[in-house]
Amino acid sequence: MSKVKHKGIKKTLIGATMLATAPVWAKTGDSGVKSPGNIGGNQLALIEIPGHNVNICYDEVGHTKSTGNLTANNITMAIPNTGINSQLLFQVRDVLTKGVEYTLFLASSSVLLAPEVNEIPTSNSIQPLRLPLDSLGILAIYHIPAQQMLTSTQTRLGKVSPDFTRSIITFGVDLNMNEIPTLIANNETIFVQAALLPTADFHANIFDNMILSEVDTLGFVNSCPGDSVNADDSGTKSSTDTKSTK
């Protein structure tokens, strides 16, 4: 285990955290995958879910998600009414905590590092860190207590495998409605990525043991050109199929 010498990394993460506080899916995109990996073991899966006043657009031509999970790596979301609060849910799946305390980050940036740039070596992760530290924004930081699977008995169906038990963490992000109209008008994109590391490493400024998700790309429009998926105020998901009305 090597200690990353950039002592400013922790300060950057904490500082960004403080600043952050003031059905078929179509997709394609650069996932940053080095080679086939073990979800939960050496990579995380990041999924976007529409919340209040958010529609996620899709088309039937799209592509498959690099991690084999539910949503696209590249998504376009429509914000029908930019004058009201809107929320996007981020779900980090296959979090394997292995009996020690962990810290989970959800980070964002408007800049994506070139594939050959490696600001922090992450040899334990299939996915590299693709968000530059100097523009990093922390959407969420979450402490995960040590997890322990209690002893279970054999049943007619079988017995749980402790080594394959995973957690799912869902973050509800209230979108910055002061910025959304600008993102739409300028056709800008935001990149998001999740990172998991032992809490002890975080406090010791050791970041090369991070496990990361793929990078997901978020685009913003006023309305979807085709089909979309959304959620009403109760959280019930529904979809619109433009072909059924043609």
> Per residue in 208-236, pLDDT tens?
999 999 999 999 999 998 888 887 533 44
* Domain with 166 in it: 30-149+160-221
Q: Which residues of 76-110 are buried (b: 16+ CB within 10 A; e: fewer)?
A: bbbbeebeeebebbbbbbbbbbeeeebbbbbbbbe
Q: Is the pLDDT of residue 108 over 80?
A: yes
Q: Is the pLDDT of residue 109 over 80?
A: yes
Q: Which residues of 143-182 are buried (b: 16+ CB within 10 A; e: fewer)?
A: ebeebeeeeeeeeeeeeeeeeeeeeebebebebeeeebee
Amino acid at 20: A
- Cβ 141 vs Cβ 104: under 8 Å: yes
pLDDT at 23: 26
Q: For the chain, what is the domain count?
A: 1
**pLDDT > 90 fraction of the chain, expressed in percent and rounded:** 50
pLDDT at 160: 86
Does residue 172 sit within a domain?
Answer: yes
- Cβ 118 vs Cβ 128: under 8 Å: yes
- Cβ 122 vs Cβ 96: under 8 Å: no
Does residue 238 sit within a domain?
Answer: no
Q: Round the average pLDDT of the chain to a whole number and report it.
A: 78
> Per residue in 1-49, pLDDT tens?
445 444 555 555 544 444 333 322 222 233 333 344 565 578 899 999 9
Concatenating the DSSP letter of every residue in 90-152 gives EEEEEE--TTS-EEEEEEEES----TT--SS--TT-SSPP-S-GGG-EEEEEEEE----PPP-
> Per residue in 137-170, pLDDT tens?
999 999 999 888 888 889 999 988 877 778 899 9
Does residue 155 sit within a domain?
Answer: no
Does residue 113 sit within a domain?
Answer: yes
- Average pLDDT of the segment spanning 200-214: 93
Q: Is the pLDDT of residue 54 over 80?
A: yes
Nearest to 82 by CA among 53, 61, 56: 53
